[in-house]
Amino acid sequence: MNLKCTLWEFIYENNNKRKTMNNFKKIGLTALAGSLVAISAHAAEMAVSGASVLTYTKKDGDETTGNPFGMKTNLGFNASGEVNGYTVSYMQTSADQFAGMSSARLSVDMGDLGVLAFDQGSGSGLSTIDDKTPTAAEEIWDGLDAKGHGGLVGAAGSSGVFNYVNTFAGVKLNTAGRLRDGTNSSDGGTGGTTAGSKHAWDFALTADEDVLKSPGLSGGLGYGENDGGDAASTRAKVDEHMTVFGNYVYGAATMGVQLSTIDKGGNSAVDQEAHAWGLAYNINDDLSVSYGERDIEYKKNSAAHVTEKGSGIAAAYTMGSIKIAGNMNRAKNNQGTKGSVDSMTEIAVSFAF
């Protein structure tokens, strides 16, 4: 027996087996990679949209406007696909920060069981109906000092919340809930600084003319609670948010009214009650105008109540993918500060792509 020859045959045969196994591994990995690519390609459809907005903004005489011209670019990413029988969707918008995120939403459509989502700023629950008065462009409080803080409901907010949406007998239910504060947290991050505080929930109910049995009429209401009151006071810690609105369309005109209240928890807190109305008119298919007013009563515990009086006029003209919009907003006793006056004028030209 030639031991040398036998040893060589053994090594040769073993080496061939190893090469064969390596080839099998390569084939397997290639097939797996191909299948993953195929799954990824067919699992979701991605759409990208965007707009560039050029603005001219002028503030009141007490504020320094500086260079009144500015620009922002918005990008929106939307993906949707079927996962285990459910439609899973993701949206993200970026405004002037292409490396960052201004809002995002991950949702699972469960058919008749409704839609469950995690929202990072796109709009959920009570905040979706915080101001439903009709307008041709921006709301009548947009651009004013501490804009939108007064009289606008939204106990849970729209950031870092779980959102559930469904429709029952034609009435749309939109709920939101969160733990602690509404901070946008990245994966592995945490929001909130005080354990057990600032939990919040709210809901909005809306219905159209088919449910309300009146052509042209739509409306809704909502309620929510936020554990953000004064912990040291003898009053309840809970902030309560409530609103009710109604809009009526008659021909080219839309009229709307809204009542909102925010009852703050805490002896030193200032409750708010807001009354608003608006009228918008479509002059033609391309041009629309609007006017609105809003009164917010700041109910101070240790001083006289102060009523903020705000108003705004707006117009918008659309030419294909180009839109020119302008608004002039003004508020007296802004944010409950007696004697203060704030105003803002803005013209915006947007290009959609």
Helical spans, DSSP H, in 217-293: none
Positive or negative, the Cα torsion across 141, 147, 152, 153?
A: positive
pTM of the shown model = 0.79
Query: Is the separation of the CB atoms in 140 and 311 below 8 Å?
Result: yes
CATH class of 46-352: mainly beta
Residue with tokens 């469960």: 110
Residue with tokens 């469950």: 116
Over residues 158-179, the pLDDT tens digits come to: 888 999 999 999 999 999 999 8
Higher pLDDT, 23 or 210: 210
Quickly state the pLDDT bin for 51 (edges 50, 70, 90): confident
Residue with tokens 């609007």: 290
Q: Is residue 29 pLDDT above 60, yes or no?
A: no
d(CA 296, CA 306) in angstroms, rounded, equals 8
Specify the amino acid at residue 172: K
Q: List beta partners, residue 73.
A: 52
Q: Is residue 34 pLDDT above 80, yes or no?
A: no
Over residues 97-124, the pLDDT tens digits come to: 444 557 889 999 999 999 999 999 889 9
Query: Residue 176: exposed, middle, or buried by beta-carbon count in 10 A (0-12, 13-18, 19+)?
Result: buried
Cβ atoms within 10 Å, residue 286: 12
